[in-house]
């Protein structure tokens, strides 16, 4: 059975979810464009975490690009600026 692109991306995200959930966060696929750009939305604690840029770049983006090479790019719609005074730090730090 051939999996569609969304299913492949979901499988890649599943490998990262336990780490996100451990800090009270999660991620959803907002959309996958025709040119195979995956747009993610960080949820819960991940949406306001000062480390969300690192979580996205080193974790989510790399997991997707490695598992689903046909994806052209990965974008997060709501990354927290590391200098945001309202940003929170993960509990595990």
Q: What is the pLDDT of residue 30?
A: 95
| CATH number reported for the structural domain that contains residue 67 in this entry | 3.30.300.130
The closest of 35, 14, 37, 17 to 25, measured between CA atoms, is 17
User: Which residues constitute the domain of residue 63?
Assistant: 5-76
Q: Does a structural domain hold residue 90?
A: no
User: Is residue 69 in some structural domain?
Assistant: yes
- Look at residues 79, 77, 8 and name the one whose alpha carbon lies nearest to residue 40: 77
Q: Which strand (E) or helix (H) includes residue 5?
A: helix 5-14
* 71 within domain boundaries: yes
Domain-embedded: residue 88 = no
Is residue 15 situated within a structural domain?
Answer: yes
Task: Please check whether residue 22 is in contact with residue 92, taking contact to mean a CB–CB distance below 8 angstroms.
Answer: yes
**Residue 69 to residues 13, 27, 29, 40, Cα–Cα distance (Å):** 14, 20, 17, 17
Kindly state whether residue 59 falls inside one of the protein's structural domains.
yes
Number of domains in the chain: 1
Question: Is residue 18 in a domain?
Answer: yes
> What does the pLDDT look like over 2-46, one tens digit per residue?
579 999 999 999 999 998 899 888 999 999 999 999 999 988 888
């Amino acid at each position: 059975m051939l999996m569609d692109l969304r299913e492949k991306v979901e499988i890649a995200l599943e490998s990262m979810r336990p780490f996100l959930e451990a800090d009270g966060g999660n991620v959803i696929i907002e959309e996958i464009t025709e040119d195979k750009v995956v747009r993610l939305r960080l949820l819960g604690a991940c949406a306001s975490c000062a480390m969300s840029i690192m979580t996205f770049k080193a974790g989510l983006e790399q997991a997707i690009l490695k598992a689903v090479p046909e994806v052209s790019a990965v974008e997060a719609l709501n990354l927290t600026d590391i200098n945001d005074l309202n940003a929170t730090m993960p509990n595990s730090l």
